[in-house]
Chain A
Amino acid sequence: MSAGGRAVAHVDAPALLVDAILAPERLAALDMAAWERLLACARRNAVLAYLAERAMREGLIDSLPEAPRAALHSARTSAARLSQLARWELERVRRAFAPAAMPLIALKGVAYVVRALPHATTRILSDIDVMVPRDRIGEAEQALVDAGWQGTKLDAYDQKYYREWSHEIPPLHYPGRLLSVDVHHTICPPVSRLRPDAAQFWADAEPCEIPGVRLLSPVDSVLHAAVHLFFDSDFDGRFRELVDLHELLTAFGGVSGFWDALIARAKMQGLGRPLYYTFVALTRVLRTPVPAAALAASRAFAPPPLTDRWMTNTLETVLTPVDPQIWPPANRARLWLLFVRSHWLRMPAHLLVPHLVRKSMRRVRVDPLAAPR
């Protein structure tokens, strides 16, 4: 085995990925072994198309070596198609809701697409998320079913879980279409200790270029992403969510008054803790330039010092990109569950544990023999 072969193993791919995202101009200096590790790591963490977008924005993608350039272009093309489908699916939902004048807020990925945020077309979407008023969620579901969407076939356990413990109804899927629709009535599951007032989100929601569709205000979309980052018991894809927050804060952070409004809103809605953790994770993992005043203000939401120290270390461990070369993978998912369990959920433990076990047993697998789409 050549010395070069050993060099491949010694690349710190997660560090390389963070560097490449923050300073794409460094891509020009990479050797081919580093490229291989970088692209595999970016793919594993669902940010390959995002890396391509960063390289495009810096105007250097055309100067990259042929094979990595092809991989980046391919990832970008495929993610861009998903974002196009998301916009189209949102339009279909809007049409289904229009006769009943159902109020509609587009959330997360599809909202980033409508806002034309630079990273919006790089996300690997599998669904679109929309919010409707809580007292009309049954009507919203029926409107979609009447228009041809179908509910997910769930067993009694899952039905019960969704209806009782979730802030959304089971995903709706239109036969033959790639993206499903998730209908929410608020941004935090009722199982959580967080109880923001959904009426406030509606009050501040902004119109957009699509008549009849509204978007969360910039501060609320950051808070939603922050809650989501820490909420999902599914550990995979956390780094991707962190990148979303990095981009949201980069896009909105320059607007005058944004940071003060963000802190004030978090306090008012009782979402200070997730915002504090978001700042901790972002500054440690992605070196996001959060203004010193905002950082200082967010410390008011910090937990007691001992918990704070444990949490801060855990967050950095868990939210750093996964290195796909390490096989079998380190079980960071377990640490994540511990974290989610201990800090956020109010679902009773006798319900929570079986739920998490079921969830972990149901990893999505595809059939290599089926024709790809």
Chain B
Amino acid sequence: MNVGELSPALVSSRMAADGLAVAIPPVTVRLRSPLRQVATQFHSLYADYVVADASDYADIDVRLVPAGGARRWLRPQVQFVVDGVMPFDAFPQDHALPLFEWGLNWVFSHRMHDHLVLHAAAVARGGRALLLPAWPGSGKSTLAASLASRGWRFFSDEFGLVKLDGGDVIPFVRPVALKNQSIAVMRAFDPHAFIGTSFPKTRKGTVAHLRAPAESVRRAREPARVGAVVFPDFEAGAEASMRRIDKATAFLKLAGNAFNYEVVGERGFKAVAAIIRGCESYILRYGDLDAAHAAIEGVMGDRA
């Protein structure tokens, strides 16, 4: 059964009691919260995800609990609790859902050392993944979301999760956190996209979450071989240009992009080598999405 098949009221009451366990492959997350808006927003963004049985194993156990203290009357706050620990400062209660998304990313990145974890967006078509490694601000989220809305299978806008044996990429399909201007850009690019509540004045400005395509969620357990590595470099007004880079440069850029390259050690080295050997790598400068898509078609088109 999918989250969307439960009523918002049932999601809310389960979250307030034993928690709602949901498969977000490759992990299962149990979420507990008495906050009604968390249940409502989660219900709409995660509608296509499979509800796990309450007695199933959850990898990550999260509570979003109202913070205590005098401030609760004046400016209600919310705490992110994972395994009985509060790793972060409290957030304003209105930002509970962005806190869940960011907190889940943080927990995930600390627990996935049985993979090489790249700071990369990924999409796939015809069984070949396009890896978009980049640090924040490079436009990789928006680019990945726009590709997903044009029929590419969405993997992630944040984590390129690489298997240590062989270098295949596995999906971690989540809502895309769009920030500031990207929200309007995606609305214009795909008027049918479902974009949830806008959260103004977060630490990253205004944030709104784009629901991941249902088909990508359904196929979230299917890995793919990397077909191209494209390092995106967004600059407003820039002409699109796709420049191939040599394998040694590509190797260093990709290894340097990983969250946990030094943690996984030699196996990470081999995984990066397998990716770089198996496909071509490029730097993509772009100023608008359509031109970026055309450039990507140029290097991935024959793979479709």
Contacts and interface: CB of A to CB of B under 8 A. Distances in A.
B58 A368 contact: no
A325 B260 CA distance: 29
Interface stretch (B105-113, B140-148, B149-157, B209-217): B105-113
Interface stretch (A69-77, A151-159, A190-198, A350-358): A69-77
Nearest to A4: B55
A1 B18 contact: yes
Given A35-B57, A372-B106, A322 B114 contact: no
B83 A5 contact: no
A81 interface: yes
A55 to B, nearest CB: 14
A368 B54 contact: no
A310 interface: no
* Interface SS of chain A: helix
B57 A365 contact: no
Interface string A334-373: 0000000000000000000000000000000111110111
A326 B259 contact: no
A5 B54 contact: yes
24 contacts: A8-B55, A32-B55, A33-B57, A40-B84, A67-B28, A73-B113, A73-B114, A74-B111, A74-B112, A74-B113, A77-B264, A78-B263, A323-B84, A324-B85, A327-B63, A365-B88, A366-B87, A368-B102, A368-B105, A368-B106, A369-B204, A371-B119, A371-B136, A372-B259
Contact of B83 (A43, A68, A75, A371): A43
A327 B55 contact: no
B276 interface: no
Nearest to A30: B57
B265 interface: yes
A171 to B, nearest CB: 21
B65 interface: yes
Interface of B: 14, 17-18, 28, 30, 53-59, 61, 63, 65, 80-81, 83-89, 99, 102-103, 105-106, 109-114, 119, 135-136, 203-204, 259-260, 262-265
A67 to B, nearest CB: 6
B106 A324 contact: no
A8 B143 CA distance: 42
Given A365-B89, A368-B88, A32 B56 contact: yes
A182 interface: no
B85 A44 contact: yes
Which 7 residue pairs are nearest across A and B when measured between Cβ atoms?
A4-B55, A324-B84, A5-B54, A32-B57, A74-B113, A77-B113, A368-B102
Size bin of chain A's contact surface:
35 or more
A49 B113 CA distance: 12
A7 interface: yes
A331 interface: no
B58 A74 contact: no
Given A68-B57, A324-B61, A368-B103, 5 more contacts: A4-B53, A7-B55, A65-B57, A67-B28, A325-B84
A36 interface: yes
A147 B150 CA distance: 55
Contacts of A368: 80, 87-88, 99, 102-103, 105-106
A71 B88 contact: no
A329 interface: yes
A307 interface: no
Contacts of B99: 368
A63 interface: no
Given A5-B18, A67-B57, A368-B99, A327 B114 contact: no
Contacts of A68: 57
A325 B14 CA distance: 16
B137 to A, nearest CB: 12
B61 A36 contact: yes
Contact of B18 (A9, A65, A70): A9
Contact of B109 (A35, A77, A323, A372): A372
B56 A71 contact: no
Contacts of B265: 81
Contact of A8 (B54, B84, B119, B136): B54
B84 A36 contact: no
A327 B65 contact: yes
Given A1-B18, A1-B54, A81 B111 contact: no
Interface in A70-96: 70-71, 73-75, 77-78, 81
A33 B28 CA distance: 13
Contacts of B103: 368
Given A366-B106, A368-B99, A2 B53 contact: yes
A336 B53 CA distance: 39
A329 B84 contact: yes
B80 A2 contact: no
Nearest to B135: A371
A40 B84 CA distance: 8
Interface in A5-30: 5-9
Nearest to B108: A372
A365 B87 contact: yes
Which of A44, A365, A369 has the largest count of B CB atoms less than 10 A from its CB?
A369
A4 B57 CA distance: 11
